[in-house]
Chains A and B, each alone.
Chain A
């Protein structure tokens, strides 16, 4: 079995200019901080990012959670798919200045579009957004008398997520609410990199508790606990 361990800098180097990168996390919880930091310190540019939110600017959360806010601040992102940007004023600023294209997507729809991408589906039908601006330009399909929007699948080049406990094969266990988008994103991208808070031997995570199986994980960054 190949050794999957790489450094955060090597992880950043696997990402190319213009790539579509999916980043796990919800207001920073579940976001792989070391990899994000290495991306910020690299020359990467013009990224398309899918992430729930653009986090908090530095210093807002006393435990240091700030999601991808630094990627925004360093102008690494060209196009952003997110459900919420309200807690990071810099995102709104770049959006109104026209330097950052922001596609705001209902949270459940964002998760389903990514899930569809990873599950081999072309898209999904959802009632969310019917009768609102979200429906603009989208096909409305009536099923049994109810209207749904056709929302197309999203697939990425690289997925970066944080795992609470990761074994040496790459099996992942997420604690508490850190799972959020991580599991669907790991299905939807060609290359999957998990940043481990804790690395354990194979077999230490009971098989029933594995939430992302090792076959989906290409690389592991031993990041340690970077928050809290």
Chain B
């Protein structure tokens, strides 16, 4: 199997439609932009105040007035604009951002997400994640199917403090594409090199398995 993050980012990229306004979280979600199909152009929003973000700035050519939500220096597309934080989150909560793609510590069968805190270990703060998951039309979680110890990250109920309550629509891992529905988690696709049995074994929540399960 190729690099796990690449597999996930590539599959997630195919979830985006031409013209979508998208906010990508820091880290693996940022990679999604590298794998967009040629006929799909999305408009990237950065919550610190950009609509129309482009690639990272070249070393030596950074404009220090233009950074992204991770503090990295970036460039923008022609027609891009800047705004203040209140407006930026107005766009986010107001439903003007079509999709947000973000990582997870845990995600559960109710579509709830834990991504920002491990009590006693990691308390960085939620940044803009809570607003993004409460406001974006399509909340897409991308994550390795299991954690470093091999334990499932997709659970019946998150045990860590929640970042979002019942807001996740899609979960994409290196093994599967899972849709979160009011009835529960539905297995929509599996990695062609995996099997339904492997996905079920590595998932800590009940999966609804329809007759047709696609592959990617």
Contacts and interface: CB of A to CB of B under 8 A. Distances in A.
A176 B131 contact: no
Contact of A61 (B49, B65, B71): B71
A132 B84 contact: no
**Residue among A61, A83, A92, A174 with most chain B CB within 10 A:** A83
Contact of B93 (A53, A108, A182): A108
Contacts of A228: 62-65
A90 to B, nearest CB: 13
Contact of B131 (A28, A106, A131, A180): A106
Given A177-B82, A179-B83, A184-B84, A128 B64 contact: no
Contacts of A2: none
Interface residues of A, number: 51
Interface residues of B, number: 43
A177 B67 contact: yes
Contact of A180 (B48, B124, B125, B127): B48
11 contacts: A27-B70, A87-B124, A107-B85, A108-B47, A132-B161, A132-B164, A133-B161, A134-B130, A177-B49, A177-B67, A179-B49
Interface of A: 26-29, 52-53, 56, 61, 63, 65, 82-87, 92, 95, 104, 106-109, 111-112, 114-115, 126-134, 164, 174-184, 211, 227-228
List the 6 closest A-B pairs by CB distance, nearest first: A86-B124, A131-B165, A108-B89, A228-B64, A176-B65, A108-B131
